[in-house]
Structure 1
Amino acid sequence: MVSFISAWCLVIVSLCYTYVVARLVPKGIRRMILFIPVFLYFFIVPLSLSTIHSVGITAFFISWLANFKIFLFAFGRGPLASDSKPLALPIFLAVSCLPIKIHLNPKPTTSSYSHGGSSREGLLYYSIRAGLLLLLTKVYTYSSKLPNKAVLALYAIHIYLSLEIILSATATMVRAMSSLELETQFNKPYLATSLQEFWGRRWNLAVSGILRPTVYEPMVQLFSILGPNWSQATAVFATFVVSGLMHELLFFYMGGLMPDWKVMWFFLIHGFCTTVEIAMKKKVNGRWRLPTVVSRVLIFGFVMVTGLWLFLPVFKRGNMFERILEEYAYAGAVAAEIKSIITSLI
């Protein structure tokens, strides 16, 4: 905990440095050069941490998202840049190091995390997911009696529930502190009817939102000489390549694992299939499409099969879920100890 707090204090100091530099130095190469120490620190900061939760959260929030946002900010682009006036420092810090995006058209009476319109429904929605996550931790005690693929499928559910709870809780906390409307990070990915929809509009929108301006749009411009179709296809595939590399880096941080490149192959396959899917959509031009139910089953099945084959085994290779359960148990013991102390004082 001390290491985690120290690391994040230095992260905040680094972000304050970028904020001041941006006020003094115009956007462009000079600003980016001055940001280089921040880039380097953000890439090594997870190595100073030990627990898998602190490493995973810091690596995702800081080493990936914050670095990409600051790179865009160096050139006056991205969520940290403002056309009218600079963001206030507290909002700049929140948007920099947390996976949130300020909603462009705030609606003061509706929460983007409610999944039904009311705060009570939103609370129920995430309470159910938290309960399912707790149930999964109990099921893991019988994992030795389950087939390997079944255990990996449980990992997939665990990842989805954990990400949704962590990202939504983070954004909701910031919303409560700043009275800002924030866009959701997950949009029921299990209902996707295409890979393009799954990756671009339903799964972990914080990642797709930052990859679009940092990778996809520059690649479209770079390869515009090839024509719109080929430049878009190249940009889509390049986006998946970068995402694969960043995921390999995240797993290196969390498990100390040298890449076996299976995770990279997962993203390469999805990048290729998404590119082909987009090309086929343009060719068909809406003249023919599968029934919605069939499309959803096919996409969900494809994601799960490729995930079980290439993406999820890395968690088993690094014993990551065993470490996660140990940290859950330790946190529960600490909470019980704190409760007993408070009870004795009362």
Structure 2
Amino acid sequence: MDIYQQSLLHRLIQLHALILAAVAYCVVVVRPRRPGLPRLLASVPAFVVFSTSPFFVKDSAILSSGIGLNIMWVANFKLLAYSGGRGALSHPGVRNGLQWAAFLVLPFFPAKSNRAAAKTSTSSVVLGLLLKLGVWLGLTALLVGVEGLSPLARHLCYAVHFWMFVSLLLDGPLPLAGHLLGHHIPLQPAMDAPFAATSLREFWGRRYNQIVSATLQETVYKPILEGRWVSSKAAATATATASVVVAEAATERDADRVSPAPAGPAEADGGNVAVRAGPPAAEARAPAAPTVAEGKEEKGGAARRRTPVAAAVVGLATSFLVSGVMHEICLWFSCGGRLEGSYRMMGFFLLQPLLIAAQEAAVAVAARVVPERIRVSAAATLLQTALTLVLVLGSAEWFWGSMETCDAEKRGLAEVDGAMRWLVEQARASGLLAL
């Protein structure tokens, strides 16, 4: 092990210790706080740790990208959503601090009610990960070893390579899910056959990188749609909890007036009652509040809640804007700590809502002039899928172009290729390989 490898290992150990300390702080200090400003302010130290974590390994394109995605982005946004009583950390199935910590620091997200859950059995997950790893390493060898690939072929390889990389990062911890979470919380898969999407909205909203999509929905889209940061359900729960606690304290004081027992804490403090806030126990006491899911509000009977079109458009555009900003930050690390400068990657994400609107307008026009039997045919579905992939891959030229400007893709490929060669050398030295 050379000096650089020793330094990298030392920094990784320091980083993991710092992240574990931040997670422990969140479990003890942040988790019991009330939703809103108290919880948000208590989260600031963890935000700082998570946001600076890629700096420990900024000289590595692969490690800084992976830590940037999992910790700087996903963990930060989960904690941010939790400050408003939203997202994975506010899921009612989270039963203890260990499960809460696992949801915070690992790329787990509860599956949506109308989505297929991820497979968490060890054998199926490991088999899938090995298959993705094989494709990823094979494409690495192809991109490093074969010169003269056309831009189209190279960018198609980049697309699959990036897909496998993100899948490995986000699905890699799935074998731990059963041990840490049990089997009572179905999890969202990171990828759900993105090549089968029949529209851009389906591609980004239901197929590709669903963990990041879910965090953006909870921190950007839903707050804009609702016009408030603290979710209505969390606010109702907190209000109901406060009422229950105050009522219980009043009952205890009334009982103490006719009881020979000594005065309780409330009387000793002059009658001041502390409102308790915290996850499971408080929510269990609160009366059932109206729940909103997938555009419906349940209040006795199910009544459809209208979503303002303007708010939905602003929420969608802002979600892509935030995604573009976060990708530019990750690109800064991949470029070795320097700004790429063209902002084409940002442009790629800002273009998506426009393409979604154009595609949906075209579909609406087709619905008026094309007979239904043709629109629902297999040929029409295949055409929609092909058009969606063309739009994604065509606009992705801005995405790949920004990476190629600063040679981020070459740095990443060289790191993976170097790691593969080092492993082969170690295997030969230990006699595992006879060649």
TM (normalized to structure 1)?
0.85
Of 40, 56, 59, the residue aligned with 2:48 is 40
Name the SS for the 1:145 alignment partner.
coil
Name the SS for the 1:312 alignment partner.
helix
Whether contact under 8 Å (1:190, 1:296) holds in the other structure is yes
Deviations 1:106-164 (A, max 9, x none): xxxx98338xxx87666554444333222212222454312233222211111012222
- The Cα shift of 1:279 comes to 5.9
Taking the aligned partners of 1:137 and 1:95, their CA distance within structure 2 comes to 31
Of 327, 336, 345, the residue aligned with 1:247 is 327
Of 302, 310, 325, the residue aligned with 2:413 is 325
Q: Which amino acid aligns with 2:60?
A: T
- The Cα shift of 1:75 comes to 2.7
Mapping 1:181-200, distance limit 5 Å: 181-200=186-205
Of 57, 63, 76, the residue aligned with 1:67 is 76
After TM superposition, the structure 1 stretch with the greater mean CA deviation from structure 2, 33-42 or 125-134, is 125-134
Taking the aligned partners of 2:52 and 2:122, their CA distance within structure 1 comes to 38
Taking the aligned partners of 1:88 and 1:342, their CA distance within structure 2 comes to 44
- CA shift in 2, pair 1:175/1:335, >3 Å: farther
After TM superposition, the structure 1 stretch with the greater mean CA deviation from structure 2, 129-138 or 47-56, is 129-138
Q: Of the two, which has the highest radius of gyration?
A: 2
- CA shift in 2, pair 1:44/1:120, >3 Å: closer
2:346 match: 264
Q: Which amino acid aligns with 2:214?
A: G
Structure 1 gap ranges (5+):
none
Whether contact under 8 Å (1:68, 1:210) holds in the other structure is yes
Q: Which amino acid aligns with 1:295?
A: Q
1:79 match: 88
User: 1:335 aligned to 2:423?
Assistant: yes
**What root-mean-square deviation, in Å, do the aligned CA atoms of Structure 1 and Structure 2 show?**
3.0
Taking the aligned partners of 1:24 and 1:303, their CA distance within structure 2 comes to 42
Taking the aligned partners of 2:43 and 2:180, their CA distance within structure 1 comes to 28
Higher helix share: 1
Q: Which amino acid aligns with 2:42?
A: L
Taking the aligned partners of 1:18 and 1:126, their CA distance within structure 2 comes to 30
Whether contact under 8 Å (1:237, 1:275) holds in the other structure is no
Once the two structures are aligned, what percentage of the paired residues are identical?
24
Higher relative contact order (CA 8 A, sep 6+): 2
Q: Which amino acid aligns with 1:130?
A: L
- The Cα shift of 1:204 comes to 0.4
TM (normalized to structure 2)?
0.69
Deviations 1:32-72 (A, max 9, x none): 11211221222122112132222111111111111111112
Structure 2 gap ranges (5+):
1-8, 229-305
Taking the aligned partners of 2:78 and 2:122, their CA distance within structure 1 comes to 30
Q: Which amino acid aligns with 1:263?
A: M
2:63 match: 54
- The Cα shift of 1:12 comes to 1.6
